[in-house]
Amino acid sequence: MKAVARLLPHSPPPLPSPPHRSNYYSPQNPNPKLAHLSFPFNPSSYAAAAAAAAVPRALSSAGAAEQEKPIVVVGSANADIYVEIDRLPRPGETVAASRGRTLAGGKGANQACCGGRLAPGNPTYLVGRVGDDAHGRLIEDALRGGGVRLDRLARVGAAPSGHAVVMLQPDGQNSIIIVGGANMSGWPREPRREDLDLVRGAGILLLQREIPDWVNAQVAQEAKGAGVPVIMDAGGVDTPIPKELFGFVDIFSPNETELARLTGMPTETFEQISQAAVKCHEMGLKLVLVKLGSNGSALFVEGEEPIRQPVIPAAKVVDTTGAGDTFTAAFAVALVEGKPMKECLRFAAAAASLCVQVKGAIPSMPDRKSVVELLQSPALETI
């Protein structure tokens, strides 16, 4: 059956798909014609040259002038099926869960909800795909409750909503299995005109890796041409990232495991993490924002000393599922508001600290008032 996408209720009808063009990255078109962009494209040197020239300009656009511009997330939306277990099963073993429930999640939806709650002055959009099913409606309700605009979220009739099985252990740690569904198979070959218009007018663009890389490349390319800062969270599928995508990304945000996978280098110590970040710089990723779990975070800017942020302790760690997404989205919110990088890290750390104290990904996303109150508490004066 041919996939049919329809927008959510109360949305305007979709515009016709534009004719085939050769100026967007895709698996069949790895070297697109980029004459419409404001910077040159050279497949052999683009990642290094364009990032060096364009990143400072793009990031400098985030600030006071962006207060009314939207935060745009292009990414996944899942139904997260939580099972609470004492330990992970061994091969061939069945274990009983003490509790199970289904909540909305997905890295794109998580980051959009976080942006919607933390940035009431900036409209937040999720450009994504859900199935025309019960899970899709669960996701829509959760996004709406998180203050996310649903104009650019489409239902796909021929694919189920993406979902994930989250195995949650007593210490709050989790293991996750993802079924892509509409997140992977529901996208048109060419980006919709109204989606590109939204991206070009954004204050910042957030990406992850739970949708096809060619979709990320298309929208990141458009954002780059418009001078919109692009943050890419490395979380999601563990396949290699196309090198063509690196040149469109301003800030790349992995955790230490993802950093090790990308670079092929150990990341067990901070010195090793620093060396791996240098390798990312050599790949053309000029700003690398590494999430270090209980060790906090660090921002590596090429040619400068890293900026480190210690973790802000949580009263009790209940569920770490949405912590990385909360951190990335909160950092983006602070950046688009014009905060210095060090303050962006601190704001993100506070949001993540609140997130891990609540079960579920989207339900755990903090509001702005809670983050500000935490940052102003006397206990944080020395952190």
CATH of the domain at 324: 3.40.1190.20
Is 172 annotated as contributing to ligand binding? no
Q: Is 79 annotated as a binding residue?
A: yes
Confidence of residue 58 (pLDDT cuts 50, 70, 90): low
Is residue 321 annotated as involved in ligand binding? yes
Comparing 42-56, 88-102, 158-172, 369-383, the range with the smallest average pLDDT is 42-56
- Candidates 132, 133, 250, 325; catalytic one: 325
Domains in the chain, number = 1
Query: What is the average pLDDT across 274-290?
Result: 97
In a domain, residue 86? The reply is no
264 pLDDT band (50/70/90 cuts)? Answer: very high
Residue 86 a catalytic site member: no
Is the whole model's pTM more than 0.75, yes or no?
yes
80 is in an annotated binding site: yes
Q: Is 20 inside any structural domain? A: no
Per-residue pLDDT, averaged over 189-207, amounts to: 95
pLDDT tens-digit readout, 64-123: 444 579 999 999 999 999 999 999 999 999 999 999 999 999 999 999 999 999 998 889
Q: How confident is the model over 147-159, as a mean pLDDT? A: 95
Whether 30 is in a domain gets the answer no
Let me know if residue 222 belongs to a domain: yes
Question: Distance between CA 82 and CA 27 in Å, rounded?
Answer: 34
Residue 39: alpha-carbon gap to chain centroid = 25
- Average pLDDT of 262-269? 97
Q: What is the mean pLDDT of residues 350-362?
A: 92
Q: Is residue 257 marked as binding?
A: no
Residue 319, marked binder: yes
Range picked from 56-60, 165-169, 287-291 for highest mean pLDDT:
287-291
Q: What average pLDDT does this structure show over 344-359?
A: 96
Mean pLDDT to the nearest integer, 178-201: 94
Give the residue-averaged pLDDT of 294-307.
Answer: 96
Do 89 and 144 touch, CB atoms closer than 8 A?
no
> Does the annotation list 375 as a binding residue?
no
Q: What percent of the chain has pLDDT over 70?
A: 82
Assess if residue 323 is contained within a domain.
yes
pLDDT band at 174 (very low <50, low <70, confident <90, very high): confident
pLDDT of residue 147: 95
Residue 3 maps to a domain: no
In a domain, 143, yes or no: yes
pLDDT at residue 8, rounded to an integer: 36
pLDDT on residue 379: 77
Q: Is residue 72 part of a domain?
A: yes
- Would the annotation count 183 as a binding residue? no
Q: What range does the domain containing 283 cover? A: 39-76+105-160+180-380
pLDDT at 41 > cutoff 90: no
pLDDT at 13: 34
